[in-house]
Amino acid sequence: MKTPRRRVWDISPVLQPGMPVWPGDSPYTQERTLIIGPDCPVNVSRLSLSTHTGAHTDAPFHYDPNGASMADVDLEVYLGECRVIHAIGANCVEIRHLAGRIEDVPERVLFRTYKSSPTTSWDSRFASISPEVIVALDAAGVRLVGIDTPSLDPEPSIEMLAHKAVMKAGMAILESVVLDDVAEGDYELIALPLKMAGSDASPVRAILRAI
């Protein structure tokens, strides 16, 4: 008897030339270096991209000069039960958005702030997460926090208070996922980073699966 297939939600934006990136960061480019033809049996491409392109996870080294690089993080935290919490339309995810939603919470939490994610244009006013939320999640046993925006902190932030709260808690970060079709509830998260030595972040192919 075959095991029933579980529904999968692909929560990764498409990587393609022209996609929005953090202002001043490296654009995504793809160049074909080999093309199938009479003298070549394969297609091969060269990529150029920021480590923070599309759905990505920050290594501790991104915000801590003594933090672990992407090749040295614990993979277990990027794989397992996850809760999606809606804060659609919020400028900042605050403690009030957690009310009644973190009882028996899994070790991973993703916040949806967009009704429809701006995957083709940059939104400088994207939602952030308050440091108080990070503290509350840490107290509840959460080990990974994610959001459907490019950063836990506002674009102009230099203090990066949410990232500092994550650093203090020893949590992992997942950013720029697309949750447009994902209802509130519990899922299985799979978002494994690449094993890149010395890297501050890594793009991921993030998915959710029905439990």
What is the CATH classification number for the domain harbouring 182? 3.50.30.50
Residue 29 located in a structural domain: no
- Residue 123 has which token pair? 């939104």
Contact status, residue 106 vs residue 119, Cβ threshold 8 Å: no
Euclidean distance between CA atoms 175 and 89, whole angstroms: 17
Residue 40 located in a structural domain: no
163 is catalytic: no
- At 4, the pLDDT band (50, 70, 90 cuts) reads confident
Residue 97 located in a structural domain: yes
Residue 38 located in a structural domain: no
Residue 143 located in a structural domain: yes
Of the listed 62, 86, 97, 163, which one is catalytic?
62
Give buried/exposed letters for 172-202 (b at 16+ CB in 10 A, else e).
Answer: bbbbbbbbeebeeebbbbbbebeeeeebbbb
Q: Could you report the per-residue pLDDT of 127-161, keeping only the tens digit for each?
A: 999 999 999 999 999 999 999 999 999 999 999 99
Q: Is the pTM of this model over 0.85?
A: yes
Q: Could you report the per-residue pLDDT of 158-209, keeping only the tens digit for each?
A: 999 999 999 999 999 999 999 999 999 999 999 999 999 999 999 999 999 9
Residue 78 located in a structural domain: yes
Residue 73 located in a structural domain: yes
Please, what sign has the CA dihedral across residues 199, 172, 149, 158?
Answer: negative
Its domain, for residue 76, covers 8-13+51-209
| pLDDT mean over 74-90 | 98
Number of domains in the chain: 1
Residue 99 located in a structural domain: yes
